[in-house]
Structures are given as structure tokens and as C-alpha cells.
Structure 1
Amino acid sequence: MHLAVPFALLRLGWRSRKNPAYRQRIAERFAFFPALDQHPRLCLHAVSVGEVIAAKPLISAILTHYPDYRLLVTTTTPTGSTTLKRLFANKVEHVYFPYDLPTVITRFLQRSQPRVVIIMETEIWPNFYRHCAKKNIPLILANARLSARSFQRYEALQPFTQHILQTIDTVAARDQQDVERFLQLGMNENNVQKTGNIKYDLQIPKTQITQGFAYRQAWGNRPIWLAASTHAGEDEILLTTHQQLLNDFPDLLLILVPRHPERSSTIATLIRTQGLNFTQRSLWQNPQTAVSNETSVVLADSLGEMFIWLKTADIAFIGGSLIERGGHNPLEAAALAKPIISGPFVFNFTDVFHTLMQANAAVLVDNPKALCKHVHQWLSNPSTAQLIGQNGQQVIEQHHNATQNIISLLQQTIAKLK
């Protein structure tokens, strides 16, 4: 197992080319951090930005229900770490999640001493899970999901998968399909419950809504569309689409929000190549005057401001979907009543998009031509676009209880420890 360490370090070095933060706090990934105090402690793992944001209502609920406990939140990525600190500051403890090596896991558990471990979604770490089981530390998979692709991969390793799953005390699955897939992989039916999707339990920051409204007022009554959480390979398509839309909507503004802000210099070059007038969020000195009537693109290369951009926009495109990335969470857009459009690759959020499309709140398109067509239609018929957005907002209101269901499972788990 320790032969993997050089490769892990090489991977950190490779990723640090774009994000230097990967070169920092490396010791934490080997569980070298000061031993934590002796207060009772819960541990929650959220791998990156999306999981941290999704876990926000659950983290808040844990802090409310268990004020005598410390809450240690681990992440894998620096952006996840930054988002966690922005959202919760010193209200939670934080270190990076350890590498899945036996000696590292042993050291992590000795130094953190969690009473219960909660893993957001479906991160499978065999050594970590086995060590928790040996130490009688209950393990809960919260908001657990298995996409068709993941299910097929785990099913191909059935004996190994079943052995690992049997170390999990409780699977809090998002929907009945996830329940069935966990059962098919060998989970005991008494240990799997449908709790709903915590991503519907959004906490909308009022300060961002106020800021977004102020931007919209300052920018005038021009049409605005948002491209949220874009990846390499999508920006070119979106910028070309924007150019085409400008022929009929010359004052149209595109807010382009890359999933990874460290790509901003590359994207800025693409925008210049297209000959578009743009402004870059990270360089703003006075936000109220940063966008002029001549500005065609806002390159929103910042973290944690998505609700600001959603508030300003009339239409939301959700990225990671024009390439085989699997899409990103569309529910923030739905919560603010924005009509949603996405590419065909949404396998990470199949159930969410299915629900939204059934409610006529979202559209999937197969190619750039269809993307341009639908955005054009919504820009031409703003009343129709508003009705579609309102449908999405109603979906959010109908699915708002997963956090409390997971808290109930946590309460049952902790009660068994006493």
C-alpha cells in the first residue's frame, strides 16, 4: 500500500500546477496534525466544493443539535477547504481527509477520536471503513447515491464491494433507486433508508441575494444569461453561442463562472480571441462600475458567489454537461426560480434533472445548436422563461426534509452509544 505514496505526492504536484494550494498542508493528508482535544466529536467528510455546499444545512443542524460536541469536517480539495472556512469559519474543526493507508488511518482516528463518522454521498475508502468498524465507530453514508455507472463498477467487484459495505452502519439514501442499488450490492436492508436528497435543503444567503439585486440594478434592464460551473471544453461552445445570440440581442450579457477559478487566465484568452469586451471578477475594485454597457462577458472567477450571479441572471446554463463530466447541481438555480438548461451529460444528477424536467423546470440539449435555440426562445419570451423558473422553485419547496431525516438517524446512532 505504501508504494502508492510517491504516486499520491506526484498527483498533488501535478494538480498544484494550476492550484498551488495543493502544495500546502500535505502533512495533514498523512494525518500529521496536532491531537485534538478530548471533547466528544463527530466527523463529517465532504470531498470538495459541491459536497461542502450540499452539506451546509446538515452541518448547521449538527451544530444546533449537538452544541456539546466538536464537529470535525474533512475535505479532499483546497477549494472545498476554502469554501468550508468561508461558510463556517471557526464553528467547525477542519483538516484534510487522510490517504487511505492503514498507518495513516490509524493515526487519524487516534488524533481525532470521532464518536460517529458521516460521509457525504458515496466516497468508498476500504481501509478507513474497516478501521472504523474495528474501533466500533459508527459510519453513516449521508445523501448516499449510486449512479448507474458507479453501480456497474461496484457490481463488477461484488464480493469486495459487499465486504466493504457491511462495515457501514447506516446508508441514508437519496431515493428509492439508490436504496435498491445498495441492496443489490449486498447491504442489509435494515441498514438502508430513504431520507431524500439533502441538496434540496438549500440555505440561501441573504447577503448574496441583496448583492445580486444591487448588481442587477446597476447593470440596467439588459438580458443576462449565466453559464455556471463550466469546465474546459465547454467555454468555447458557450462563447460561440453567446456570439450568435448577440446578433439578435446586442445588449445580452453572459456571466461565465468556471468550476475551477484557476482556469481564469485560459478562459480570458479565449474571450479575447472571440473579440468580446469582458471584465474579470477577481480584478474588480468597484463592483458597481465594473460592468459597463459595452461589457459583453463577466468572467466570474470567484468562489462562493453563485447565488449572486444567479440572482442577476434571467437564464441558467449548468456546466459539466456538454462534456462527459456528469453535470452539476441545478437546484440552486431552481431555488431562485431560474429556467435551467443543461447539456446531455448529467449522470451525476440524473434523478434531480428527471424531477425538474417532469415539472417543466429544465431542458437538456444535445448540441450547441440546440443550446442556442433554447436560450434564444427564452430570451424572446421572458414570461415563458419566468413560468419555467417558477416550476423549479415549486420542486424545491416539495422536497424540503432530507436534513431532518438524516439528523434523526444520527440521533438514533448516538443514542446507541450511550
Structure 2
Amino acid sequence: MLRFVYSLLWLLILPLALLRLVWRSRKESGYIQHVGERLGRYGDLSAAGPWLWVHAVSVGETRAAQPLIDALLAAYPRHRLLLTHMTPTGRQTGAQLYGANPRVQQCYLPYDLPWLVRRFLAYFQPDAGLIMETEVWPNLVHVTRRMGVPLFLVNARLSPRSYRRTARFGGAAAALYNDFTMVLAQTAGDAERYRALGVKSVQVTGNLKFDMQPPEAGVARGQLLRQAFGNRHVLAAASTREGEEPLILEAFSRWPGTDRPALLLVPRHPQRFDEVAAMATRAGFSVQRRSALDIEQLSAPITADVVLGDSMGEMAMYYAASDIAYIGGSLIPLGGQNLIEACAVGTPVLMGPHTFNFAQATEDAIAAGACQRVADADELMVAAAAILGDATRLADMREHALTFAGLHRGATARTLGALAPVLR
């Protein structure tokens, strides 16, 4: 009955969902491309399989899926891989990673109505589906089970906050998650919360993000970019969210010291690049945009107060160019973003108080000496100034960051091991 009501609501809001695509396309044109795919129409795509299907809703999930996708392509050479998304930025990231690989095909997942999901599954007939992290759609999960397609929730995480919200649905939540063949959790805490919901098949495999290897070309470009700042330190504010940039810019204007670093400001969403650039200019800072820089041919040092990271797929470069990095989404209650990418290139991390999306990784990084938590934007600048002003401490945190990232690798192999009995 709950699923019926849910489907009825989806049917009623479907016209609004389509109008929302048009509205969002004003800032990001990708939202009105491939609209037919969102309605289960895939006639212009090849259906020739056999397929393994991986769903990665947006940018973060797509990047996290990369080591697993590479391993699946190697382990199952007769299969092709269908990579689905919900956002244009996720699709763009997938194209950057796999656009040249003929064994990988991308499309949008349809809206969560039963007949649209059936149309999607009937067209591609995947041998198995892997849903990344938290993207649990009731009709998608139920119909996939009814059609006999093994479905795994991979790199799964369930914060205490999400657990309390989900537990309100009681047996319905347990039934939903038990339609998965298996839930492969990031941490023992995540697994414990899934089991508390009543989920029967749960296994801890670790966090795939630790297995992400920073691209060598991106790290090399980052080193070139770092050289262009000369003797100035570089503080990155990466994957910042709406509402954070004003706090960061205001606190940066009151830098607690004489040698203020360059601020490498990288908003998470590309549709906000122009907005954030204008915000920094209004705050009185000189601004240089990455899109106007030829990294390989820099002819003059970068003297701007703020460098805006207005590009996609270059986080490794931004982190490699930085002496220390604040990870966005954590100064305001959005749960934080992935700190592992920064640690993987040896960049120490600062996190705000709100890290429930990466709670275990954050606590482990703090315990390892790779990360420091701050209460607000002013404390962020004070902590950054103290670390940048202490060469020994900065070097120690760099070493701890690399060690932390290396110690937690292995989730890809454990995930493949859990999938093997079904995929074989």
C-alpha cells in the first residue's frame, strides 16, 4: 500500500519533475538533454550485452565507483558495463573517465515509476545491478527483484541521522532493503544500523573512495599550479556548498596573521561558478579563474587573492596544488564531502562540525593526525594559519595524510569477493 501511494504521488508530480528539468537547464543545459531516457526510452542506445549495471547518481558516486568499475571490466571481460546517473554533472564525470571505452555505455536512470523501471530493465536485461552508496528508490529496488535481477547496495552508508529517519517506516524500510541481494556497507557502524532496521544480508567491505588513485597527470598539473603561486602558501576550500562561501570569504578577509595565503576556492556545483566569482569580487578580493589559466604554459606568477576552481574533474590537481584543504559541506549541516581525495595526494585536511556523511572516515583521519576539526569559519582560518606557520607540523600532517589513505585501501577487492558468488 505504501508503495502504491508512493507511485501515485510520483505520477502526480511527474509533470513538475519535467518542468524542473527545464528550470534547472537555465543554468545547466545538460538537464534538458536525453530527457527520453528519464522516461525509459533508450532506442538510440545499443542494447547488446551482456551487461553489468552500475548506478552512480552524481559526481561523488561516479568517482567513487571508478576503482570498482575498472575491476569489474577486468574480472568479467565478456560483459559490457552500463553506467547510469541522475545528474548531468555525474554523466559528464563518467564521460571524462570512460568516454573512450567501448565497453562502457552511459544513460540516465528513469524516474521511479514501476513501468518506467520495467522498460529500462527489459531493454538492457542486466545480469546484475550495483547501486552506489545511498540511492535507494523503492520501485527500482522492488521491480528489479521481481524481474530476477540481483541488486546490490555497494559502498553503502547509513548515518545515525538517516537511520532515525528511515526507522520511522518500520517494517516497510526492512522490506525495501531486504529486496537487495546484499548490502555492502562501508563501516561496521553502517552495517550495525542496517541490521537494526531488519536488513538480513549485510557485509562490511570498506569504503571504495580509499581505492581511488589520484591521476598522475592531474597531480603533475597540480604541482605546476603550485609553483605558480611562488612563496605563498595555498589554502584550498574545496567542494564548497551554497551558504559556505560568504562565511569563508568573510573569515579569509580577517586572516589572523601577516602572510595570508592564496585561497583556492572550488564550488561543488558548476552552475554556481559565476555566482561565487562575483561574490569574491564583491568581497574586495582579486580573482583569477582556472578556466583562464593554461596550466602547462603559465608565463607569469599568480598574484590573485582568490583562484576560482571553475572546472570539472580536476580535484586531484586542486588538492596537489594546495598546502592544506578545507572540505566543504561541513561548516553548515550538509554532512560534509569526501576528504579521502585530499589525503591521497598528501594534503592535510580541515573539516567543520557537520561530517555525518563521512563520520567514520573523518574520525579516523583525525585520529591519524591527517585532519583537524574546526567549529566555524573563523576557527578554520586560525587553524590554517597555525599549521601553515609551523613547517614541522605541516610536514607531519602531510605524512599522516598519505599513511591514512594507504592503510584503508582494499574495499574494491572485498566488494568483488562479495559479488563473485552471484556474478559467477
Q: How much is the aligned-residue C-alpha RMSD, in angstroms?
A: 1.6
Equivalent residue pairs, number: 412
Q: CA separation in 2, counterparts of 1:97 and 1:361?
A: 37
- Whether 2:27 is the aligned partner of 1:18: answer yes
What SS does structure 1 have at the residue aligned with 2:112? coil
User: What is the CA-CA distance between 1:16 and the residue it aligns to?
Assistant: 2.2
Corresponding residue to 1:76 among 86, 89, 92? 86
Look up the match of 1:264.
273
In the alignment, is residue 316 of structure 1 matched against residue 316 of structure 2?
A: no
Work out whether residues 36 and 111 of structure 1, in 8 Å CA contact, stay in contact via their aligned partners in 2.
no
Alpha-carbon separation, structure 2, partners of 1:128 and 1:352? 29
Query: Which residue does 1:113 correspond to in 2?
Result: 125
Aligned to 2:415: 406
Pairing 1:303–2:312 present: yes
1:136 maps to 2:148: yes
Alpha-carbon distance in structure 2 between the residues aligned to 1:38 and 1:267 = 44
Counterpart-to-counterpart distance in 2, 1:110 and 1:330: 39
- CA distance in structure 1 between the aligned counterparts of 2:300 and 2:179, rounded to whole angstroms: 54
Residue of structure 2 equivalent to 1:98:
110
Q: Output one character per residue of 1:60-89: Cα deviation in whole Å (capped at 9) or x when no partner.
A: 101111111010000111000000000111
Q: Distance in 2 between matches of 1:395 and 1:285?
A: 33
Q: Are 1:122 and 1:144, in contact at CA under 8 Å, matched by a contact in 2? A: yes
After superposition, the Cα gap between the structure-2 partners of 1:333 and 1:286, relative to the gap in structure 1 and judged at 3 Å, is closer
2:366 alignment counterpart: 357
2:154 corresponds to 1:145:
no
Instruction: Give the deviation of 1:334 after TM superposition.
Output: 0.9
Counterpart contact for 1:339–1:386, Cα < 8 Å? no
Q: How far did residue 293 of structure 1 move?
A: 4.7
C-alpha deviation, 1:382, in angstroms:
2.4
Q: Counterpart of 1:85?
A: 95
Distance in 1, Cα, partners of 2:225 & 2:295:
11
Q: 1:222-260: CA deviations, max 9, x gaps?
A: 21111100111111122222222285114x211100001
Write the deviation string for residues 312-350 of structure 1: whole angstroms up to 9, x where unpaired: 110110011111111000001111111110111111101
Superposed, which structure 2 residues align to 1:378-389 within 5 Å?
A: 378-389=387-398
For 2:138, the equivalent position in structure 1 comes to: 126
AA aligned opposite 2:56: A
Distance 1:233 1:347 in 2: 18
Partner of 1:226: 236
Q: Is 1:53 the counterpart of 2:67 in the alignment?
A: no
Misfit runs of 4+, over 4 Å: none
The Cα of 1:13 is off from its aligned counterpart by: 2.7
Runs (5+) with no aligned partner, structure 2: 1-7
Structure 2 residue matching 1:128: 3-state secondary structure: helix
Alpha-carbon distance between aligned partners in 2 of 1:406 and 1:206, rounded to the nearest angstrom: 25
Q: Secondary structure at the match of 1:245?
A: coil
**Residue 286 of structure 1: how far off its partner (Å):** 6.4
How far apart are residue 147 of structure 1 and its match?
0.7
CA distance in 1, matches of 2:332, 2:25: 23
Deviation at 1:116, TM superposition (A): 0.2
Q: Tell me which residue corresponds to 1:8.
A: 17
- Cα 1:293–1:169 shift into 2, 3 Å: closer
The question of whether the paired residues in 2 share the 8 Å contact of 1:215 and 1:288 is answered with: no
Q: Does 1:273 align with 2:282?
A: yes
Gaps of 5+ in 1: none
1:396-418, Cα deviation, whole Å (9 max, x unpaired): 11111100111112211122xxx
| C-alpha deviation, 1:205, in angstroms | 0.3
Matching residue's letter, 2:207:
N
CA distance in 2, matches of 1:81, 1:326: 23
- 1:330 counterpart residue number: 339
Question: Residue type matched to 1:156 in 2?
Answer: R
Query: Can you list the C-alpha shifts for 1:172-213, whole angstroms capped at 9, x where unaligned?
Result: 11111111111111111xx21111111111121000111111
Equivalent residue for 1:162? 174
Residue of structure 2 in register with 1:182 after alignment = 194
- Cα deviation 1:110-134 (Å, max 9, x = unaligned): 1111010000112111111111111
- Compute the displacement of 1:285 (Å): 5.1
Deviation string, structure 1 residues 240-281 (Cα, Å, up to 9, x no partner): 22222285114x211100001221111111111122111112
Change (3 A) 1:3 1:293: closer
Range 257-266 or range 70-79, more displaced = 257-266
Preserved contact between residue 235 and residue 267 of structure 1 (Cα < 8 Å) = yes
Measure, in 1, the Cα distance between the counterparts of 2:181 and 2:357.
24
TM-score, scaled to structure 2: 0.94
Q: Is the 8 A contact 1:338 1:386 kept in 2?
A: no
Provide Cα deviations, 1:265-311, integer angstroms capped at 9, x if missing partner. 11111111122111112233566437635311110110011111111
What is the letter of the counterpart of residue 36 of structure 1? S
Q: 2:14 corresponds to which letter in structure 1?
A: V
Residue 394 of structure 2 aligns to a residue in which SS? helix
Q: Which of the residues 203, 220, 232 maps onto 2:213? A: 203
**Structure 1 length-normalised TM:** 0.95
Distance 1:290 1:365 in 2: 37
Paired with 1:414 and 1:278, the residues of 2 have a C-alpha distance of 51
Q: Which amino acid aligns with 2:131?
A: I
Pairing 1:289–2:289 present: no
Q: 2:352, 2:373 within 8 Å by CA — same for their partners in 1?
A: yes
- Name the CA distance, whole Å, in 2 between partners of 1:50 and 1:337: 20
**Structure 1 residue 37 corresponds to structure 2 residue 47:** yes
Q: What are the Cα deviations for residues 12-66 of structure 1, in whole angstroms up to 9, with x where unaligned?
A: 2332232221111111111111263342111000010000011110011011111
Deviations 1:109-163 (A, max 9, x none): 1111101000011211111111111111101111111011111111000121111
Identity of paired residues, percent?
38
Q: Distance in 2 between matches of 1:146 and 1:291?
A: 48
SS of the residue 2:69 aligns to: helix
Whole-angstrom distance in 2 between the partners of 1:123 and 1:264:
26
